[in-house]
Structure 1
Amino acid sequence: MPAAIDFEQLADAIGDAIIISDAAGDITYWNPAATRMFGYTQNEALGKTLDLIIPERLRGRHWEGYHKTMATGQTRYGNDVLRVPAVDKDGRALSIAFTVALLHGAQGELTGIVAVVRDETARFQEERNLRKRVTELETRLQTQDQQS
């Protein structure tokens, strides 16, 4: 029989941020990787809403989806990776990727959501630079073809 897994030890050691929010969207769990990623300490994040890390322009859409998930008990992001902008404590823009899982209470009621989040800011910037370079090369090639 495998040894029991200590959630706190796992969540503290893992490199990805683990954020749990309750049915209302208040943060109830914030691991050390979330602190490294977003700059808020656990004490600063607990009890606050996810607005801490959601850019203001996206909050309406986020909360519409969040409340719909809480009402229906369904999310399409359990298996699909969602890539969205985020912000850290200093207001710096991040590009994050995450999956979510729904959490249920003893009677099966939906009690919250856990998100496993990875900072993909550097990868996103690399892809943007590569796309820009490809566009530049395609334009140069088209210009050469027209001059021939």
Structure 2
Amino acid sequence: MNANIDLHQLVECVGDAIVVADANEKIVLWNPAATRIFGYSEDEALGQTLNLIVPERQRQKHNEGYRHSMETGTTRYGTSLLKVPAKHQNGETLSIAFTVGMLFDQSGKANGVVAIIRDETARFAEERALKKRLSDLEGSQA
């Protein structure tokens, strides 16, 4: 890697949210794109758990999966693009797509995760509207 790259500047300027949580699910990195997507400032997000953005109905499954990943050092999602609902500060539901990576300490023990997150709410809404329109058109031709 080019040593001239300023990683702090990279994290600050990218359009996708970068969120890092430690082994206890506490948010330890929250970039400006995360603020734009979720509504919480960096100060409001740091130190909070990921429940800040995980909708109530997904929390149990999310928490169980997170604990399992920390215990085993693995995630079943690998490099897959995950598409899930998320929660904005104002209570609105968002549709997000993200990849997740495991982070490890010097001894190789899992000590957190990084998620690269994109807000897909508008695109998902357009896709649903197009599918409904297509279904309506197909139905009217029957």
Residue 4 of structure 1 and its aligned partner are, at CA, apart by 3.5
Q: Are residue 3 (structure 1) and residue 7 (structure 2) matched?
A: no
- Using the alignment, how far apart are the partners of 1:134 and 1:67 within structure 2? 42
Cα distance change, pair 67–43 in 1 and its aligned pair in 2 (3 A): same
Which amino acid letter does the alignment assign opposite residue 119 of structure 1? Answer: D
Q: How does 1:15-30 map to 2 (within 5 A)?
A: 15-30=15-30
- Using the alignment, how far apart are the partners of 1:74 and 1:111 within structure 2? 11
Which amino acid letter does the alignment assign opposite residue 6 of structure 1? Answer: D
- When the two structures are superposed, what TM-score results if normalisation uses the length of structure 1? 0.92
Q: How does 1:35-114 map to 2 (within 5 A)?
A: 35-114=35-114
Residue 140 of structure 1 and its aligned partner are, at CA, apart by 0.8
Higher Cα Rg: structure 1 or 2?
A: 1
Q: Which runs of 5+ in 2 are unaligned?
A: none
Residue 5 of structure 1 and its aligned partner are, at CA, apart by 2.4
Residue 3 of structure 1 and its aligned partner are, at CA, apart by 3.2
Q: Which runs of 5+ in 1 are unaligned?
A: 143-148
Q: Which residue matches 2:138? A: 138
Aligned residues: 142
Equivalent residue of 2:70, what SS?
Answer: helix
More off after superposition, 69-78 vs 47-56: 69-78
- Using the alignment, how far apart are the partners of 1:73 and 1:2 within structure 2? 29
CA RMSD of aligned residues (A): 1.1
- When the two structures are superposed, what TM-score results if normalisation uses the length of structure 2? 0.96
% identical equivalent positions: 55
Which amino acid letter does the alignment assign opposite residue 76 of structure 1? Answer: R
